[in-house]
Amino acid sequence: MILQSIELNNFMCYAGSNKFEFTDGINVIIGDNGYGKSKLFDAFYWVMYDKCFDTSKKDFVPTNKLKRLLVSDKTLAEMEDGIVTTSVVLTFHNTEKDSIYILERRYKVRKDFEKLTEDPESEEIVRFKEMSYLNAREVTDISQIDSIKRTILPDNIKPYMWFQGEQVESIIDFNKENTLTQAINVLSNITKFDNIIAVANSLKESSTKELNKKQRDLSGDKSKSENLELQRQALAARIKALELQDLQIKDNLATAEEKSETLLNKLAEAQKIRELEEKRKSKERNLQEVQNELNDEQQNFHKRMFTSKWILKGTEGLFEEYSKIYNQFEQRKLVRKVEIQVRVDAENELNKVMFQLPIDVPEPIHLENMLSMEKCLVCDREAVIDSEPWLNMKMLLERSKMKIKTLEEEDETRHDFSADLKKLYQNGLGLSHNINSIDDEIASTFRRLRKLDKRRKTLSEDLSNIESEVNSLIVDAALNPSQANNLLNEYSAQNDLAKRSQREVDSVAHDINKKREELVDIENQLSSLVTGEIPAYLNEKVKVLEQFYQITHSTRKRVFHQLVAMLEAEANKHYLEMIQGNLSVRGVIRFKELSNGKNYMPELVDENGNVLLQLNTGNIILIKLATIMAIISARQGSRATDLYTLITDAPMSVFGEDYTIGFCKTVSKVYRQSIIMSKEFYRNEDLRRQLLTNAEIKLGKVYLITPTIQETDRTNRNSLSTNIKALN
Amino acid sequence: MTKEEILRSYLSDDLFIREGYLKDGEAEKYRWVTPGTNNLIDVLKLAIEGEVANESENIIEKKINILLNRQS
C-alpha cells in the first residue's frame, strides 16, 4: 500500500488548498522549527484517528477538544460570514490490486458577525475504487471502514509506523514490562505459545486433582488420607503464595536493576551537569564581580574628571598665559609699590620739615595745659581764648599731632585683588603639575577598563558556552540540574533495593524448596496409603500433562529468546548502518534479560562482550530506532513492511547530524515507503545535497515548506499560510 | 508461523530425546501428518490445532482430556 498523496484544505497553518504527492522510497518534508512539519504529521493522523498530537501533553487530543484549532486562522480571518470547512484527504494505492482508498476528514466552523459556532465532531468520508481507473464509491458501513483502516495500518503495527520523534522514548520503553513482548508479538506468533501454556497449566492442575482424588478413593486409611490431603492442599497453597511473592520480588528486583542501569547510563551526564552547574555558578559570581568592578570603574571614570582634575586636560596654555599676565601684574605692582613708597617717603620728609614743632616749644601736653590755662608759660603772658597767642599755641599743638604717612595708608584707598590673583596663580602652579600626568592617568584607566571589559566578555562567553552545554546535556539526558543532583542518591537507593531484593529472592527460593520437599513427602505418604491400583491411563495422563506443562514453558522461553536474538541481530544491522557517519561510536546492541525473565534492557557491548557504560540519550534513541526498524525488517518476507508506510515527524532531532544520512539510508532499505519530516536538511545545506544525490538512498519526493510570515514577524496568524516547494 | 513450524518448535525440546520419544534430528523433519505414536505429540497437535483455529481454552482442554481418557 502506497500513500499517493495528502491534500490539506484550511488545515491549521495550511490555509487554502495544499497538496503533497508521494512515491516509493523515502519522502522528505524539510522545514525549520515552527514551519508546519508537525501540523502535516497531525493531518495524517487526524484523518485516520480523529486526533492530533499535543506536544505539551505528549499525547493525542481528539477533535472535540481541538475544534477551531484545526481551522486555519487566515481562512477564518479572511472569511466573511458563512461556513469554513477544514478537510484533509489521504489517497492510498494498493499497487498489487490496483485499488484505491480515499480517506477524508472534514470539520466545519460557522462564522456569523465574528461569532464562531464550532461543530462538535468531525465528519469522516471513505471512498473506495476497486480499480484505479473506476469511479470511487462511498463506504458507509462502519465495520467496513474500520476494516479498511486496519488494512491501511493494523493497530499492532501502528506504533512502529506512525510516530512523533518525541514518542520514540515511549514506543520502546524498556522500563515497561511488556515493551519487548509487544514488539515480539508484532514480530511473531508468541501469543500462541502463551495461550498453549495457559491450556497446559489448566490441564496439569486438573489431572493432578484427578489423581489425588483417585488416590484418596483407593486409600486403606481414608481418614489419614483426608488429613494428608488437607495438609497437601495447605502446602500447595503456601507454595503458590510463595511463588507469587517470588515473582513480585523478582519484578521489584528487575525494576531496580533497570532503574540502576538507566541511572548508570545517565550518571556521567548527571556528573557533568553537576560539574558544569558548579562551574556556571562560579563563572556567574566572577562575572558579577567583574561587572561590579567595571561599573565602579566607569562611574569613577566620570568622577575622576573632577577628583583627578582630568577636566583640566588641554588647559596647559591657559595657565602659561595666566602665569605670564600674573608676572606682569606682580612686576607692575612692585613698581607701583616702589613709586608709592618713594612718594610717601618724600611726603613724610616734607611733613616732618613743615610740621615739626620749634625746638623751644614745649611738649604737646604742656601746650594743652597752657591752652586750658589761657596763658603762655614760656613767655609768661596771658593768652585769652581765641586770642592770637592762644590760637598760635593751638596751631602748634595740632601740628604736633600730624602723623607720618605709610605705604599701607596710601594703599587703603584702593580695591586690592592681588591676594586672589596670587592664590589663583599658586593653584594654577599646583595644577599645572597634574595636567602633565592626566594623559597617562586617562590612558591607564582606559587600559584597565578595556581589560575589565575583555574579562567580562570572556566570562560572559564562557558562561554562555557552559549554559548551552548544560542545556544540551539537559535535553540529551532528559535531566534537569536538580535531578542530576539527586541522581547519585537515587542510584545508590536503587542499588540497595536490588541487593535487598536479591537477598529476599534467595530466602523465598529456600522456603519454596523446603515446602516442596514437604509436599513430596506428603504425596509419598498418600501414595503409600493406596491399596488398589491407580488406572494406567491416569498415571499416563498425569505424566503426559506434566511433560506437556514442562515443554510448553521451556519452548515458549526458547522461542522468545530466539526472537529476541533475531530482533537483536536486526537492530544491530540497522544500528551499525546508522552510526556509519560517526566512527567514534562503537559497540553492538545486546538485549540483556533481567532477573524476572520478562524485561529486557538494551546495552552496548564491545567486541569482548564488556558493557559500554553510560550511554547518552542520543545513543539510546538510536538503539530504540534501530529496534523499531528491526521489528519491521524482521517481518520482511511476510510482506508486512511492503504494505505499510512509515510516517514520522522529527525522528532524528535527538541524535546528531552525523547519523542523519545513515538513518535515511536505513529507512529507505527497511520501508518500501516512508514520509519523514525533518529540520536537519533545512539547516544544513550540505546534508540536503547529500540526501538529494546519495545513490544509496532510495529517494521519493522531497519538499521544502516555509511559512509566508516568519514566526518572529507575526503578531497573530491571521495571514499565515504555508509555501510548499518540490525540490525534486 | 504455520502449525507445523509451531509443532517443530516444541519437538526441538530436549525432553523428546531424553524420554526417547524422538531420535536426534527427527524433530526438524517432523511433518504434521506423521501418524501419532506418542501421546505427548498428539496432545501438542491438539493444542496447536485448537489455538490456530482460535478455539477456546475449554474446547482444547476437553479434546485433550478425551484423547488421554480414551484408554480407560
DSSP for chain B reads --HHHHHHHHHTSHHHHHTTSS-TTHHHH--TTSPP--HHHHHHHHHHHHHHTT--HHHHHHHHHHHHHTT-
Contact flag B43-A545 (C-beta cutoff 8 Å): yes
Q: Which helix (H) or strand (E) holds A115?
A: strand A115-118
A12 vs A7, A71, A717, CA distance in Å?
Answer: 13, 5, 10
Confidence grade of residue B42 (pLDDT, cut at 50, 70, 90): very high
A468 or A444, higher pLDDT? A444
A27 or A34, higher pLDDT? A27
Confidence grade of residue A485 (pLDDT, cut at 50, 70, 90): confident
Which of A497, A501, A477 lies closest to A489, judged by CA? A497
Segment A34-61, tens digit of pLDDT: 889 989 999 999 999 999 988 777 788 9
Contact flag B57-A552 (C-beta cutoff 8 Å): no
Mean pLDDT of A483-509: 86
Q: Does B12 touch chain A (CB under 8 A)?
A: yes
Mean pLDDT of A438-447: 88
State the pLDDT at residue B72: 47
Mean pLDDT of B41-53: 94
Q: Does B6 touch chain A (CB under 8 A)?
A: yes
Residue B20 with chain A: CB contacts under 8 Å: none
Of A126-140, A316-330, A426-440, A613-627, the range with the lowest mean pLDDT is: A613-627
CB A344 within 8 A of CB A407: yes
Confidence grade of residue A178 (pLDDT, cut at 50, 70, 90): low
Of A41-45, A72-76, A239-243, A576-580, the range with the lowest mean pLDDT is: A576-580
Mean pLDDT of B19-25: 91
State the pLDDT at residue A195: 93
Contact flag A544-B43 (C-beta cutoff 8 Å): yes
Burial class (CB in 10 A: 0-12, 13-18, 19+), A541: buried
- Rg of chain B, C-alpha, whole Å: 13
Which of A577, A534, A560 lies closest to A663, judged by CA? A577
Q: Rank A261-275, A377-391, A510-524 by mean pLDDT and report only the highest.
A: A510-524
State the pLDDT at residue A87: 95
Residue A198 with chain B: CB contacts under 8 Å: 57
Residue A200 with chain B: CB contacts under 8 Å: 47
Angle at CA of residue A60, ends A57 and A65, nearest 5°: 90
Percent of chain A with pLDDT over 90: 31
State the pLDDT at residue A393: 84
As a whole number of angstroms, the distance between CA A107 and CA A52 comes to: 13
**Distance from the A196 Cα atom to the nearest Cα atom in chain B, whole angstroms:** 6
As a whole number of angstroms, the distance between CA A576 and CA A625 comes to: 12
Q: Nearest chain B Cα to A187, which residue?
A: B1
Contact flag B9-A202 (C-beta cutoff 8 Å): no
Q: Does B48 touch chain A (CB under 8 A)?
A: yes
Per the structure block, which three cell numbers stand in for A441?
592617568
Which of A173, A172, A187, A196 lies closest to A564, judged by CA? A187
State the pLDDT at residue A168: 72
* Whether complex ipTM tops 0.95: yes
Contact flag B40-A547 (C-beta cutoff 8 Å): yes
The helix/strand count (H/E) of chain A reads as 21, 19
State the pLDDT at residue A407: 59
Contact flag A206-B61 (C-beta cutoff 8 Å): yes
Segment A658-676, tens digit of pLDDT: 788 888 988 888 888 999 9
Question: Which value, to the nearest 10 degrees, does the dihedral of the CA atoms of residues A454, A455, A458, A461 take?
Answer: -100
A32 vs A29, A38, A378, B47, CA distance in Å?
Answer: 10, 11, 133, 56
Residue A10 region by backbone torsions, left for phi larger than 0, else alpha for psi between -120 and 50, else beta: left
Q: Which helix (H) or strand (E) holds A560?
A: helix A536-578
Residue A515 has pLDDT above 80, yes or no: yes
Mean pLDDT of A459-471: 86
Question: CA A408, A411, A417, A421 torsion: positive or negative?
Answer: negative
Per the structure block, which three cell numbers stand in for A413?
584707598
**Quick count: other Cβ atoms within 10 Å of Cβ A222?**
12
Per the structure block, which three cell numbers stand in for A299?
562611574
Contact flag A540-B1 (C-beta cutoff 8 Å): no
Q: Rank A313-327, A610-624, A704-718 by mean pLDDT and report only the highest.
A: A313-327
Mean pLDDT of A681-693: 90
Instruction: Quote the mean pLDDT of chain A.
Output: 85
A139 vs A49, A91, A126, A129, A511, CA distance in Å?
Answer: 17, 14, 5, 10, 63
Residue B67 with chain A: CB contacts under 8 Å: none
Interface probe with A: pick from B5, B41, B44, most Cβ of A within 10 Å: B44
Segment A402-422, tens digit of pLDDT: 655 665 665 555 677 888 888
Contact flag B39-A554 (C-beta cutoff 8 Å): no
Q: Does A116 touch chain B (CB under 8 A)?
A: no
Contact flag A555-B19 (C-beta cutoff 8 Å): no
Contact flag A202-B57 (C-beta cutoff 8 Å): yes
Q: Does B4 touch chain A (CB under 8 A)?
A: no
A470 or A232, higher pLDDT? A232
Question: Number of CB pairs < 8 Å for A and B?
Answer: 78
As a whole number of angstroms, the distance between CA A61 and CA A79 comes to: 27
- Rg of chain A, C-alpha, whole Å: 53
pTM for this predicted structure: 0.62
